Chain A
Amino acid sequence: DAKTTQPPSMDCAEGRAANLPCNHSTISGNEYVYWYRQIHSQGPQYIIHGLKNNETNEMASLIITEDRKSSTLILPHATLRDTAVYYCIVREWSGNTPLVFGKGTRLSVIA
């Protein structure tokens, strides 16, 4: 029962911003948006998460629409090392609710 919809693949030129969209139209008020990525042959890696405000850290920025039905992960200056599968996940903050991964978006950064 997928809570999020992501495009299966995207390309981005090296040095340009990569904007990865995610639709979560059924998100509830106590659910956060999480982003992880998985570089080939490695375990997934946490990137960022947010509730309703935009968030930024050293890896990326997360923009959540006002109605919270969609979000965009922004990698401001993509490098070849950012080539990976990016997962957008919605999850309740409270209680024992583990992460459930969907299919994600395969981002290819091209030189």
Chain B
Amino acid sequence: DAGVIQSPRHEVTEMGQEVTLRCKPISGHNSLFWYRQTMMRGLELLIYFNNNVPIDDSGMPEDRFSAKMPNASFSTLKIQPSEPRDSAVYFCASSSLVNEKLFFGSGTQLSVL
């Protein structure tokens, strides 16, 4: 199994641009999570899905952030418009159930200039 796959690994963009981060969970996993990590705030849960349905998006910082999961094998996290304070590492994780152990991807390092 290839594990959780995230793309791109690195993204550098300018303020105001749209950014789309992608995630392919482990096949057969029913729950998907998006986390953001910064030095100041640590590892924060942004949103999670169960069976492709968003369960809790209370961690999404602003309306500029949106996440979708159109099918069981793909999810996106979009930031529009991006701002320098969005610079962080964004992790996607999946699990067979919400309360089972998480498997994390390698993350996307986002830099907004």
Q: Mark A36-68, 1 if CB is under 8 A from B, else 0.
A: 101001111110010000000000000000000
Bound together, the chains give a CA A87 to CA B106 distance in angstroms of 18
Q: Counting CB contacts under 8 A, is A29 at the interface?
A: no
Within the complex, what minimum Cβ distance (angstroms) separates B17 from chain A? 25
Q: Counting CB contacts under 8 A, is A21 at the interface?
A: no
Structural contact, A96 and B50, CB atoms closer than 8 A: yes
Cross-interface CB contact of A92 among B55, B99, B102, B104, cutoff 8 Å: B99
Structural contact, A96 and B45, CB atoms closer than 8 A: no
Q: Which residues of A contact B12 (CB under 8 A)?
A: none
Within the complex, what minimum Cβ distance (angstroms) separates B3 from chain A? 9
The size of the chain A interface, using a CB distance under 8 A, is 24
Within the complex, what minimum Cβ distance (angstroms) separates A99 from chain B? 6
Q: Mark A65-84, 1 if CB is under 8 A from B, else 0.
A: 00000000000000000000
Structural contact, B107 and A43, CB atoms closer than 8 A: yes
Chain A to chain B contacts (Cβ below 8 Å), 10 pairs: A38-B43, A42-B106, A43-B105, A43-B106, A49-B101, A87-B43, A92-B99, A96-B50, A98-B33, A98-B48
Task: Please give the residue numbers on chain A whose beta carbons come within 8 Å of chain B beta carbons, in ascending order.
Answer: 34, 36, 38, 41-46, 49, 87, 91-103
Closest 8 CB pairs of A and B: A43-B104, A101-B43, A46-B101, A96-B98, A43-B91, A98-B48, A44-B104, A96-B55
